[in-house]
Amino acid sequence: MTVEEVYTNAFSADYVAWTEYGASPYLDDTDTGYIRTNVDLADERAWSFPNSAGSGTINSVKLRLEAQVSVADCGYISVNVWDGSNWIGAGNIFPVVGYGWFELDVSAILNTWAKINAGQVWVSYNKVATGYGYVRRLTRKVDYTPVVAKKPIMKMDLGPHPRSRLLFAPTLFLGAKSSSSASSSSPPSDPWEGWFMDEV
C-alpha cells in the first residue's frame, strides 16, 4: 500500500465568516496561518488540494485538521466535503484546549480518483459557550494500492522439440519388394522405396 498526504494549497473564499490570519490558504503547513471564530454557525469555505498522483485501488481517504478551542467545551466544528457534484456532511470534530490533530474518514464520499481530485472542504463552527474555535492545518490523506504493471513474458525459441524431428534411418527394410527373388539383397530401384522414416 501507498500513503499520499498533502496540505491544502488553495482557498476560494466563497464564505469568510471566520477571521483569517497569515497568507492564503491559511491552513497549509505553517504556524502563522490559521482561522478562528467565536460566532455560532460561522461558515468558511472552500479549501482544495493538489491533484493526486495516485492510481489503482483506493483503500481509504481521510481529512486531517489541526484544531483547538480557547476554552474547554466551548464549541465544535462541522466539516463538509464537495465531491465534484454535491456538498456532503463528513462529520464533526471536537477540539480541546491546545492544538491537536483530528481525523475524519471520507472514503465513502471521495470514493473515486475524480472525486478525490475535485474534493473541497467547508468548515462551520458550532458555539456551545464563550470561547473561540481555531483551525491551523488541513490535509488530505489517501491510502491506496498502486497498479502493478505486468512484466512481459519472455519467450525463448529453443527450436523444434527433439521428438518432432524425423530422421531417416539408413536401415534396409527387410520387407521391401524384390525385383527378382525373395533372397535378393539389392536395394530397390527407387532410392526411397523400402527405406523407412523413424520418429524419435
76-108 per-position pLDDT tens digit: 999 999 999 999 999 999 999 999 999 999 999
Strand partners, 37: 133
pLDDT of residue 44: 98
Residues 6+ apart with CB under 8 A from 36: 18, 19, 21, 132, 133, 134, 135
pLDDT of residue 169: 47
Distances in whole angstroms, Cα of residue 186 to Cα of each of 45, 179, 198: 106, 9, 22
Rg (C-alpha) for the chain, rounded Å, is 39
The mean per-residue pLDDT over the stretch 60-84 comes to 98
Q: What predicted TM-score, i.e. pTM, was given to this entire model?
A: 0.75
The mean per-residue pLDDT over the stretch 105-128 comes to 98
Which cell goes with 154? 519472455
Task: Give 156's pLDDT tier (boundaries 50, 70, 90).
Answer: low
- Name the CATH code of domain 2-145 (choices 2.60.120.260, 3.20.20.80, 2.40.110.20, 3.30.499.10): 2.60.120.260
Distances in whole angstroms, Cα of residue 38 to Cα of each of 69, 99, 134, 146: 10, 17, 9, 43
Task: Give 192's pLDDT tier (boundaries 50, 70, 90).
Answer: very low
6-44 per-position pLDDT tens digit: 999 999 999 999 999 999 999 999 999 999 999 999 999
> Domain boundaries in the chain?
2-145, 162-199
Q: Measuring CA to CA, which residue among 86, 74, 183 is closest to residue 130?
A: 74
